[in-house]
């Protein structure tokens, strides 16, 4: 996992999500400029790409592929790629909402929904 001594607050996280979303919108290739539907697809598909990288790291960590050596150090890569997958999904949400408060509200509502299923299951 990437070592960071910097602690990020929830307020920082919201600010970072907005800044990253704006940067992504502003720095796409010319082929994507003025193509909102292409931008939508790219933002959603990027989360799938990141998930694929997490899967690659899992394969390396577990040694699932006999053609490639098992690597204990790939665990750190796995954690980084899972975090990238989660954040890329958040950036995708922000792409559609363009409102950090709404993005966080939606994310927390889904977390509460998942927790509610756990509570109901264990009741």
pLDDT in tens, 84-95: 999 999 999 999
pTM: 0.85
Q: Cα–Cα distance between 27 and 30 in angstroms, integer?
A: 9
Is the dihedral angle over the CA atoms 108, 50, 84, 53 positive or is it negative?
A: positive
Q: What is the mean pLDDT of residues 54-67?
A: 96
Could you tell me the residue ranges of all domains in the chain? 10-121
pLDDT at 102 over 90: yes
DSSP letter string, 13-34: HHHHHHHHHHHHHHTS-TTTTT
Is 59 buried (19+), middle (13-18) or exposed (0-12) by CB count in 10 A?
middle
Lowest mean pLDDT among 16-20, 66-70, 115-119: 115-119
Model confidence at 60, pLDDT cuts 50, 70, 90, reads very high
- The mean per-residue pLDDT over the stretch 97-118 comes to 95
């Amino acid at each position: 996992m990437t070592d960071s001594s910097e602690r990020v607050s929830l307020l920082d996280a919201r600010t970072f999500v907005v800044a990253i979303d704006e940067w992504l919108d502003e720095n796409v290739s010319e082929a994507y400029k003025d193509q909102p539907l292409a931008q939508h697809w790219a933002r959603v598909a990027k989360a799938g790409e990141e998930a694929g990288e997490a899967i690659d790291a899992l394969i390396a960590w577990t040694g699932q592929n006999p053609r490639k050596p098992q690597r204990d150090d790939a665990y750190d890569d796995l954690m980084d790629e899972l975090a990238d997958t989660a954040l890329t999904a958040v950036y995708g949400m922000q792409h559609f909402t363009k409102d950090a408060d709404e993005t966080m509200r939606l994310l927390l509502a889904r977390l509460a929904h998942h927790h509610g299923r756990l509570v109901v299951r264990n009741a």
